[in-house]
Structure 1
Amino acid sequence: MHTSQKPIGFWSAVAMGIGAMVGAGIFALLGEASAISGSAVYLSFVAGGIIALFSGYSLGKLGARYPSSGGLIEYLSQAYGSGLFTGGMGIVLYLTAIVSLSLIAKAFGNYAITFIPAADSPLWHHLFSIGIILLFVLINLGGAKDVAIWERITVAVKFLVLVVLSVAGIWVLKPQLLSPSHYPPVNAIFFSLAITFFAYEGFRVITNVAEDMPDPGKTLPRAMLAAILLVMLLYVAIAFAVFGNLPVARVIAAKDFALAEAALPIFGSIGFYVIAVTALIATASAINANLYAVTNVTYQLAKDGELPSLFGRPIAHSREGLIVSGVLIVIALLLFDLSEIAAVGSVSILFVHLITHLGHLKLIAETGASRVMVLMAALFSLLAITLSFFYMAHHLSHTITIFCGFLAVAVVTELVLRKFSDKKICSRVTD
């Protein structure tokens, strides 16, 4: 196990979790979620937070028992062994992370070009989106300490701005806008989990810094639950502030700029630009935290022989997997329209979580976790997946194909890697 000489403590871990969660999810997708659940979107955030809390409990207990930079990959290996199944799940997790980072980078580009009146060309959007990825690849090459320092600074800024917006918005809200008479059918509220859970999925990055914690058995579970609780409270407060000041139609029309739009009636044009700048900070912070986690995941996969060895080779204070991931993110930015990928990302993460929680039940004697709590984590994940599939089948049917494609690519990639690995072993034996 890797031992860091620059350890990450409780608040640094909490900051990384918040930094990974409060990014594109709340800034870029609030309008999309409101198109499904309207002014009742806060209920969807509560439901998503509850699912995340149960998952956080299960993953926190696993991380306390098996501290590893690989996070979920290590837990899957402990439960199912380092075989085809675990390798396939690891690649699904990796692909989901790459796509999520691409979406976050695109959200950064969307906000950045609003400050340049003449930036009508897609070239400007690509320039900002690719530039922010390259910047944080360089920062992550500095190691865990540099990542933690940046997270403490950016999380403090965006958390403070969003808290001020929430408090001010709630103070002047119009109760009639939040009346239950405006709510859509109950099933629509829960169908929006296909979007809103994406706003929480970043909490898993805390598991990837377990090796850099002086006392992961104590620090990891506490940091995990604290980060999720703080973010859930923030999301609910933001939802009240936004929908208590703007009609649903105006929020939907604003799309990616719903939070900035909500600041207009409260603070005027200055508020709009303050929130827009905060969005840039938030998306940048999410990229930073998720890049660090992805690098640790690819290192663990390479160590287990489930990715090429170059992913685990040292470079500066990081691994070459960081460079490869950066390249793949840039390629995704240039090739794909990621407007519906949030749903695919949510379902993919929930699927890996479900498999992990089921595996945890096999390890319950070693982790000392509550069997009921872990079982609830699995059941809630399954319920969220089912609701998401129902929604996607009726409104985003092609995203189901994309998700199945993720699984197929993961299985084929793992089979090819294992066949290649077996040939190398046979070659060495023959020689």
Structure 2
Amino acid sequence: MDSHSRHLTLLGATGVGVGAIVGGGILALAGTAFATTGPAAVVAFAVNGIIALLTALSLAELASKFPQSGGTYTFAKKAMSVEAAFAVGWVVWFASVVAAVLYAIGFSHFSLVMVTDLWQACCGEVPDWLVHPAVKTVGAIATTVLLSASLMLRSAGGGHFVNVGKVFVFGLLILAGVVAVARQSPAELSTAFDPFFTSGIGGLVQAMGYTFIALQGFDLIAAVGGEVREPTKTIPRAMILSLLIAVAIYVPLLLVITAVGTPPGQSIREAAVANPEGVIAVAAENFMGPSGYWLVIVAAVLSMFSALEANLFAASRIARAMAVDRTLPSQIASLSGPHKTPIRAIGVTAGLVSLILIVLPDVSAAGAASSLIFLITFAIGHLIAFLVRRRSHRRPPPFRTPMYPSVPVLGGACCLALAVFQGIAVPSAGMITIFWLGLGGVMFIALFRTRASVLDASNTAINPELHTLRGRTPLVLVPIANPQNALAMISLADALVPADIGRVLTQTIVVPPQDWTPQLDDQPIVRSQEVMREILHASANCGVHIESLTTISADPMREIARVAKLHRCESVLLGLSKINDVAQASHLESLLGELDANVVILRSRKDWKFAEVRRVLVPIAGRGGHEHLLALLLGSMQRSRMLEVTFLRVMSASTPSDEVRRAERDLQRLAGDLCEGSQVDVVLSSDAIAAVAHRCDEADVLILGVQRVGRRKKLFGDFTRALADRTDCPIIVMSRRG
């Protein structure tokens, strides 16, 4: 992300959080809290604030280490598998979309309340069309579309004037309430708060479960982290600051509402039961008169508007982050306009919001599902924060949560407990979540898994720390029989698995002749020692730390398979002097069938140095199942040098032009997934082997895949053999596990 794209300052990032948190949640849920637990609703919001602060600390630590857009999805991608990351991103995107739906409806509702009250005051009777249910839906959709268009045309997400306006309005309400409280006698105040726990501790926990979502929104700052300046400092500060602002408004407001918001003889719980949606407006009218009512309406309109804008802004960034990783269609990832905004991601998000507004006019169950999803993903966020801190030995997060591991453990347990409560209290929320997750799973397997896993392999190879963050220590086994290959083999092994991330295990095999008597003939041992000497020299020259193993076996191929299985090797790197040697290749093909590991086979010249490889030629004949391993290999090579990679497709000279163009498009898309910045070339020729062999003269290495004729049957194939016979270009042949 370049400096132009990082446009959000501390004020702008805090504005995203304040826009999402402050106002909408408390106006919608304060009545529910009061009806459930009475005056103890103040405690429910305060305790939820503590849990939210614990969550903000964990997410802030992750955001400081991974300052890219996507929020919890990005964190899951770094510390978990691509499949788990998709599941997290898919449901978080849905939760943000549903939150936007709720705020769009809320904005439309309170706007209509304002309009109808003004109409009635000025013009008398309100026309029927103005109170028709469809008007609310149309207003919600229109607001969503207009706000989305606005987000497409500018880089910022939070409306500063709207945020300042609503904070000012809430400040006036609190100030007026404090003045009213000062006029009350101690006996009156005591009566207002008695009984404090109307439903005991159980009611308090219920109120916490219902209202925690009112503090959701600080996480949206992490969701737009790729657009924040100085993210390692700004994101943690903005998340904590926005949450503290929300709590500083909510707790005093609830206190004054409880103390002076009801007429004599009526408790706040009774008022909330009678009118849960309008309890704050009624309470403000009680201690401020009509001006208090209008202040609440204005606050509601501003709050719903800013929360809708913040959720649209963040949800579109989550969608784009997923599209960049190919877990959603890659077209959504494009940036357009002078401010480089994700216009397509915003459009898709707004379209989904509008669709839900049309097909689900009653979205209460979907809203509960949104709350459940956020709680679950917050719990996952705590788990990821715990794991990342443990696994980030070499590069710890710039911002580190105090009292580790107490914060992620306690915060995660609280979020999980509230999620369980939400699932029990609103079973339909769990059903909606499961349905959406199932729909996403089917789409991922059918449409996204192949490209997403290929790109993930490339990213993992380019950034090997991801192995460590995911708790993996990959091991590559390197059997070496020819001492002249030692240098090339070890340098290639180090590219596949850097020593500070994984392990390189070299293997020398003493092959005893029949009726071998070691006391009389020690030549096999001497040869093994010569190989080991060259391995050690090569290791020292390359600066690669290796482990070494020497075994004795009359069947080297079977011994390699045994050691690879025993040590659970992720990859096996083999050297082969002649691929076109049928007997030698046949033994190797039998080994490929036994190994449950990625296999990379190298045929090179004596003077070939892997470190000097720059020009790479990759013939492609469609998707052959090796893209994952090819992305891993090319990504590993890109870490230490600039590569010139050419993907070559040879087609028959009689191929129709439209088919050639389609093949070129497919090849460009594949090349983009495998190695960014690579070249593609589609050649028409009646002799594919000659066409590829001719291009080998311009390459430092040729990369091919084995031919798969079954799960346990892999062959070099006639093409590979013939090509190896025609060129002395170094060749790497790959075979993916399974």
**Which residue of 421, 440, 443 corresponds with 1:413?**
443
For the 8 Å contact 2:104–2:143, the answer to whether it is kept is yes
**Superposition deviation, residue 68 in structure 1:** 0.7
2:88 aligned partner: 89
Which one is further off, 381-390 or 198-207? 381-390
For the 8 Å contact 1:19–1:285, the answer to whether it is kept is yes
1:287 aligned partner: 308
Q: Could you give the per-residue CA deviations for residues 277-303 of structure 1, whole angstroms, max 9, x where no partner exists?
A: 221111100111111111111111001
Q: Could you give the per-residue CA deviations for residues 337-385 of structure 1, whole angstroms, max 9, x where no partner exists?
A: 1224443222211111211221222221321624844553343333343
Matching residue's letter, 1:90: G
1:136 aligned partner: 147
Q: How does 1:315-394 map to 2 (within 5 A)?
A: 315-316=336-337, 317=339, 318-319=341-342, 320-336=344-360, 337-364=362-389, 365=392, 366-367=396-397, 369-370=400-401, 372-373=403-404, 375-390=406-421, 392-393=423-424
1:189/1:70 CA distance change after superposition, 3 Å: same
Q: Could you give the per-residue CA deviations for residues 205-260 of structure 1, whole angstroms, max 9, x where no partner exists?
A: 11133333331111111111111111112111121122222222222333322222
1:46 aligned partner: 46
SS of residue paired to 1:194: helix
Structure with the higher strand share, 1 or 2: 2
Q: How does 1:101-140 map to 2 (within 5 A)?
A: 101-114=100-113, 115-116=115-116, 117-118=126-127, 119-140=130-151
2:326 aligned partner: 305
For the 8 Å contact 1:2–1:211, the answer to whether it is kept is no
Matching residue's letter, 1:358: L
**Which residue of 234, 239, 246 corresponds with 1:224?**
239
- Is it true that 1:277 corresponds to 2:308 in the alignment? no
**Which residue of 289, 296, 306 corresponds with 1:268?**
289
For the 8 Å contact 1:6–1:144, the answer to whether it is kept is no
Q: Equivalents in 2 of 1:194, 1:422: separation in Å?
A: 36
Q: Equivalents in 1 of 2:216, 2:621: separation in Å?
A: 42
Q: Equivalents in 1 of 2:290, 2:236: separation in Å?
A: 41
Count of aligned residue pairs for this structure pair:
426
For the 8 Å contact 1:194–1:347, the answer to whether it is kept is no
Q: Could you give the per-residue CA deviations for residues 86-114 of structure 1, whole angstroms, max 9, x where no partner exists?
A: 11111010011111111111111221221
1:162 aligned partner: 170
Q: Equivalents in 2 of 1:405, 1:397: separation in Å?
A: 13
2:225 aligned partner: 210
**Superposition deviation, residue 272 in structure 1:** 1.0
For the 8 Å contact 1:260–1:275, the answer to whether it is kept is yes
Q: How does 1:416-431 map to 2 (within 5 A)?
A: 416-419=446-449, 421=451, 428-429=622-623
2:99 aligned partner: 100
Q: Equivalents in 1 of 2:292, 2:380: separation in Å?
A: 43
1:363/1:428 CA distance change after superposition, 3 Å: same
Q: Equivalents in 1 of 2:233, 2:216: separation in Å?
A: 22
Matching residue's letter, 1:397: P
Q: Equivalents in 1 of 2:227, 2:452: separation in Å?
A: 33
Q: Equivalents in 2 of 1:308, 1:207: separation in Å?
A: 22
Q: Equivalents in 2 of 1:403, 1:33: separation in Å?
A: 24
Which one is further off, 188-197 or 226-235? 188-197
Give the structure with higher Rg (CA).
Answer: 2
SS of residue paired to 1:235: helix
**Superposition deviation, residue 143 in structure 1:** 2.8
Q: Equivalents in 2 of 1:338, 1:35: separation in Å?
A: 21
1:171/1:406 CA distance change after superposition, 3 Å: farther
Q: Could you give the per-residue CA deviations for residues 30-84 of structure 1, whole angstroms, max 9, x where no partner exists?
A: 2223222222111111121111111111111111121112222221111114x11
**Which residue of 257, 270, 276 corresponds with 2:278?**
257
Q: Equivalents in 1 of 2:375, 2:278: separation in Å?
A: 27
Matching residue's letter, 1:429: R
For the 8 Å contact 1:84–1:415, the answer to whether it is kept is no
1:270/1:41 CA distance change after superposition, 3 Å: same
Q: Equivalents in 1 of 2:353, 2:452: separation in Å?
A: 29
Q: Equivalents in 1 of 2:290, 2:429: separation in Å?
A: 37
Q: Equivalents in 2 of 1:281, 1:64: separation in Å?
A: 31
Q: How does 1:396-411 map to 2 (within 5 A)?
A: 396-411=426-441
For the 8 Å contact 1:79–1:363, the answer to whether it is kept is yes
**Superposition deviation, residue 414 in structure 1:** 2.4
SS of residue paired to 2:7: coil
For the 8 Å contact 1:167–1:241, the answer to whether it is kept is no
Q: How does 1:164-203 map to 2 (within 5 A)?
A: 164-173=172-181, 174-175=188-189, 176-181=191-196, 183-203=198-218
SS of residue paired to 1:255: coil
Matching residue's letter, 2:623: V
Q: Equivalents in 1 of 2:227, 2:412: separation in Å?
A: 28
Q: Equivalents in 1 of 2:421, 2:14: separation in Å?
A: 34
For the 8 Å contact 1:92–1:348, the answer to whether it is kept is yes
SS of residue paired to 1:69: coil
Higher relative contact order (CA 8 A, sep 6+): 1
Q: Equivalents in 1 of 2:61, 2:406: separation in Å?
A: 13
**Superposition deviation, residue 15 in structure 1:** 1.7
For the 8 Å contact 1:392–1:399, the answer to whether it is kept is yes
* Percentage of pairs with the same residue: 23
**Unpaired segments of 5 or more residues in structure 1?**
none
2:659 aligned partner: none
Q: Equivalents in 2 of 1:252, 1:113: separation in Å?
A: 24
For the 8 Å contact 1:54–1:374, the answer to whether it is kept is no
**Superposition deviation, residue 327 in structure 1:** 0.8
1:250/1:313 CA distance change after superposition, 3 Å: same
TM-score, normalised with respect to structure 2 = 0.55
SS of residue paired to 1:8: coil
Matching residue's letter, 2:94: L
Which one is further off, 296-305 or 30-39? 30-39
1:372/1:341 CA distance change after superposition, 3 Å: farther
For the 8 Å contact 2:97–2:311, the answer to whether it is kept is no
Matching residue's letter, 2:223: N
For the 8 Å contact 1:134–1:326, the answer to whether it is kept is yes
For the 8 Å contact 2:386–2:408, the answer to whether it is kept is no
1:2/1:306 CA distance change after superposition, 3 Å: farther
Matching residue's letter, 2:95: T
**Superposition deviation, residue 322 in structure 1:** 0.5
**Superposition deviation, residue 329 in structure 1:** 0.4
Matching residue's letter, 1:325: T
2:700 aligned partner: none
For the 8 Å contact 1:353–1:378, the answer to whether it is kept is no
